Structures are given as C-alpha cells and as structure tokens.
C-alpha cells in the first residue's frame, strides 16, 4: 500500500505532462492542415520530377 504514495503522484505528473504537450501542440497550430498532410503522402515524387 505504501507504494501507492509514490505511484499516484507519478501517474498524475505524467498525465499533466501529456496534457501540457497536447495543449502546446494545439496552440502551435500542429493540427491546422490535416487534409494537406493526408494528400501529400499520396503524391508520387518521381511522377512530378519527370513532368518538369
């Protein structure tokens, strides 16, 4: 039981760090262009290079 005295604050700290990283990513506009990233992975670089 005494191990819970250490594990609960550690779990809360790790949860707060994760929440802080998520909030930081929202504020730094990491999720603004989700469609562009999804389309960019489908573009074939070799096809574009041969057309130029």
pLDDT reported for residue 47: 60
The answer for residues whose C-beta is within 8 angstroms of residue 26's C-beta and 6 or more apart is none
Q: Report phi then psi at 2, rounded to 5.
A: -70, -20
Could you give the CA distance from residue 23 to residue 34 in angstroms, rounded to a whole number? 17
pLDDT of residue 30: 86
Residue 32 is given by DSSP the state: S
pLDDT tens-place string over residues 1-52: 899 999 999 999 999 999 999 999 999 988 887 788 778 888 877 665 555 5
Residue 19's pLDDT is: 98
Sorted by sequence, the CB contacts under 8 Å of residue 31 that are 6+ apart come out as: 25
pLDDT, residue 45, reads: 74
Please give the pLDDT value at position 51: 59
Domain total in the chain = 1
pTM equals 0.61
Which residues form the domain of 34? 4-51
For residue 26, count CB atoms less than 10 angstroms from its CB and return exposed for 0-12, middle for 13-18, buried for 19 or more. Answer: exposed
């Amino acid at each position: 039981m005494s191990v819970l005295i250490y594990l609960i604050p550690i779990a809360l700290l790790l949860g707060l760090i994760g929440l802080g990283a998520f909030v930081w990513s929202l504020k730094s506009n990491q999720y603004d262009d989700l469609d562009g990233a999804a389309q960019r992975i489908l573009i074939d670089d070799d096809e574009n290079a041969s057309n130029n």
